[in-house]
Amino acid sequence: MGRYDKDRFFKELAIRYCLATQALPFLEVTVPNISNLSVTEGIDILTDIDVLGLRDAQDGHLHRTIFDCKTTNKMSPINRAFWACGLMKYVNCNDAHVILKSRAVHNHRISALSINVDLHDESSFTELGRTFDIGFADDLHYQSSIDRWNSVHQSYVNNAWSEPIFLVARNVTPLTDTPWISFRKLIAELRAARGYFDPLKDGHMAIFLDALSSAFVLWSTLGRDIRRFYDPSLKREDFEMILRYYIWGGKETYLVRQQLREKLAKEEKDTTPLDLPEWKRLVAFVGIIISAPQDIFRCAHVCRELSIRFGTSPIEKFDNQLAKTLKANSRIRQFTLALAEYLILASGIPKDLGNSVEAFLLKS
């Protein structure tokens, strides 16, 4: 039995609904305690979100939708709605769809809508999806199939060193409200695993591309923010200093870290600023994306598709769809190659991973 097989039919419908509405799906996102006071190791998990859909609502603002998929009736529909509303507020999501085996009574459905929860059974949810795309329930993307999601998850399982990458890419990224911290964490986990990546193994390519997809989710918000403080009249060094403050969570946080770094490096007389690895490359990437930050989120979808492609096997109709997407918007290829190059250089993983990504993107 695969990781995502429980309530799989409803989850698959939810994934396909996400794709029909231009949202990026995340499966079984774990919800941790707000603070961990346990003396034992590990993350204390409260619950998980069956499917979480992220949509670029406006200029980098992410609209988050919870999909609660239940094929058993252990709780009444309206109580399920109250539960979903509480979860929605806890993780700062915008709305929720609850897909149940049996249809809720009309009064309860209307009451649930007042708290931004939409109660459905299979039939009503399918009809809702068809209002966006008449063929939404068909297998139209690499992401559309639970079996293919299970294959990529197996790539993580088969490579125990990749678990920290999975936690950041699949659980932290979709719920974070501090994307600058999550991006630094993602780089750190990739650096920690740099000696394990093998460009000749498709499973390793799937892991890297999955992480790249999540990096683009983070950058959809980072790019929006940077666009707001970017000023062409600024001197380069002034812009870079503002960017440092932003990436490190503010001027005060940056200066405290810099002072600590200077004290530790005093004997070596190292006075260079505190930067992320390959800082100049990151600045160059920022220079590319600020011209069109609205295209950043679209790269996340393409990278997720490529991740599943490497984690399973190529399917011609999906490759053709990817080729059309890349041809319609040249910035997707440009942004993807630029961020892939940065992550590879910053983490120290083999450059041949980037060559494999480039080979597919350039031939499409």
Q: How do the domains of the chain map onto residue ranges? A: 8-138, 146-363
CATH class of the domain whose range is 8-138: alpha beta
Summarize pLDDT for 265-302 with one digit per residue, the tens: 665 555 556 788 999 999 999 999 998 989 999 999 99
**Percent of the chain residues topping a pLDDT of 70:** 94
CB atoms within 10 A of CB 252: 10
Measured distance CA(146)–CA(153) in Å, rounded: 10
Mean pLDDT, the chain, rounded, equals 92
Which segment of 4-13, 141-150, 223-232 scores lowest on mean pLDDT? 4-13
pTM over 0.85: yes
Measured distance CA(240)–CA(73) in Å, rounded: 55
Summarize pLDDT for 171-190 with one digit per residue, the tens: 999 999 999 999 999 999 99
Measured distance CA(358)–CA(137) in Å, rounded: 31
Measured distance CA(191)–CA(277) in Å, rounded: 10
How would you list the strands of the sheet with 24-32, edge to edge?
Answer: 24-32, 45-58, 61-70, 95-100, 117-121
